[in-house]
């Protein structure tokens, strides 16, 4: 029987975004404050996912052995290091989150049966890499606060209360929504980036955070005049709003996850090119 196991590790490192073939002005325009010397640091959190058959002892791998491999091949070398100089891979590409995840995969793959590397640069930015050449995933987390009422304009108050319970009360209620946007793309072999991170964050702010923040969704967002703003429907609408702006940046929207409360979240995936978009969502928990 196949089983996936995960091992967490962490390290603290610094890095700098700077390409010697560009002028100081060009580097600054491309990378913003990340060009500042001597660099800046992060507390990285690494999740190593491995797959295998269960042995007679009920294990895929001995986790003590896994821990020592990750320490020997990765964390002992990267902890309290300047990433630009620690490994030869970073002489040709910058140590971005997505490229660092790929390089960690390449260094661990000869020793462990990997299925995914997930690397958090900080709690609002992380990358996933699963061994597919230069393709990686990058996730940006942000938030907005909004109110909504769950009630269909085609139903009576009593009917809405029957379906939505307290959420149908006439003056609505609010949430601090947390939004995770995952994009997919090819890592640029020189910059180490799959997308311009500042431009991605600006697109999310422009098309979602600024229009949605501190609004009553039913009244202030035209889409929800007729569509009930459940977490699922909000996630679908955000997906539809972001697909074109992210494509214009050279990446592809992969997934939108909307966390309405600690007990309730929904996630929707972008349609595969060539297929029809289906407005479906995958709520993790139905509690409000």
Q: Is 167 a catalytic residue?
A: yes
User: How would residue 277 be classed by pLDDT, with cut points 50, 70 and 90?
Assistant: very low
| Cα–Cα distance, 231 to 150 (Å, whole number) | 10
pLDDT surpassing 80 at residue 272: no
When pLDDT is averaged across residues 114-120 and rounded to a whole number, the result is 98
234-266 confidence digits (pLDDT tens): 999 999 999 999 999 999 999 999 999 999 999
Residue 287: which pLDDT band, with cuts at 50, 70 and 90?
Answer: very low
Concerning whether 260 is annotated as a catalytic residue, the answer is yes
- Half-sphere CA count of 283, side-chain side, radius 13 A: 14
pLDDT > 70? residue 280: no
On the question of pLDDT at 268 being above 90, the answer is yes
Same fold, 1-131 and 140-288: yes
CATH superfamily of 140-288: 6-pyruvoyl tetrahydropterin synthase/QueD (3.30.479.10)
**Catalytic site residue from 214, 226, 232, 254:** 214
Its pTM stands at: 0.91
| Domain layout of the chain by residue ranges | 1-131, 140-288
CA distance 66 to 44: 18
Given the residues 42, 111, 124, 167, select the one marked as catalytic: 167
Annotated catalytic residue within 121, 232, 260, 267: 260
pLDDT band at 3 (very low <50, low <70, confident <90, very high): very high
Q: pLDDT (tens digit, 9 = 90+) per residue, 41-68? A: 999 999 999 999 999 889 999 999 999 9
pLDDT at 279 over 60: no
**Orientation angle between helical segments 231-248 and 197-204, nearest 10 degrees:** 140
Is 214 a residue of the active site? yes
Q: Residues 107-141, buried b or exposed e (16+ Cβ, 10 A)?
A: bbeeebebebbbbbbeeebbbbbbeeeebbbbbbb
The pLDDT confidence band at residue 285, using thresholds 50, 70 and 90, is very low
Residue 191 has pLDDT above 70, yes or no: yes
CATH of span 1-131: 3.30.479.10
Residue 1 banded pLDDT, cuts 50, 70, 90 = confident
Q: What percent of the chain has pLDDT over 90?
A: 92
Could you give the C-alpha distances from 225 to 146, 220, 221, 238, 281, in angstroms and in order?
15, 8, 7, 16, 20
């Amino acid at each position: 029987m196949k089983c996936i196991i995960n091992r967490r590790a962490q390290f603290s490192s610094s890095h700098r975004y700077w390409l010697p073939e560009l002028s100081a002005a060009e580097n600054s325009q491309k990378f913003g404050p990340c060009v500042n010397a001597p660099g800046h640091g992060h507390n990285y959190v690494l999740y190593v996912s491995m797959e295998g058959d269960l042995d007679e002892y009920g294990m895929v791998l001995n986790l003590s052995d896994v821990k020592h491999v990750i320490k020997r091949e990765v964390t002992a070398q990267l902890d309290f290091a300047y990433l630009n100089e620690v490994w030869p891979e970073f002489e040709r590409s910058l140590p971005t989150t997505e490229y660092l995840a790929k390089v960690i995969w390449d260094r661990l793959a000869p020793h462990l049966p990997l299925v995914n590397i997930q690397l958090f640069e900080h709690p609002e930015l992380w990358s996933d890499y699963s061994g597919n050449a230069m393709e990686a995933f990058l996730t940006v987390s942000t938030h907005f606060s909004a109110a909504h009422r769950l009630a269909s304009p085609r139903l009576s108050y009593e009917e809405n209360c029957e379906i939505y319970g307290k959420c149908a009360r006439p003056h609505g209620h609010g949430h601090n929504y947390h939004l995770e946007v995952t994009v997919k793309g090819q890592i640029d072999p020189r910059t180490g980036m799959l997308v311009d991170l500042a431009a991605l964050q600006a697109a999310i702010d422009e098309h979602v955070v600024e229009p949605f923040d501190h609004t009553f969704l039913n009244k202030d967002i035209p889409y929800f005049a007729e569509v009930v703003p459940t977490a699922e429907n909000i996630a679908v609408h955000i997906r539809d709003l972001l697909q074109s702006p992210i494509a214009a940046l050279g990446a592809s929207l992969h997934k939108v996850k909307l966390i309405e409360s600690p007990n309730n979240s929904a996630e929707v995936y972008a349609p595969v090119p060539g297929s029809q978009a289906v407005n479906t969502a995958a709520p993790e928990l139905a509690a409000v």
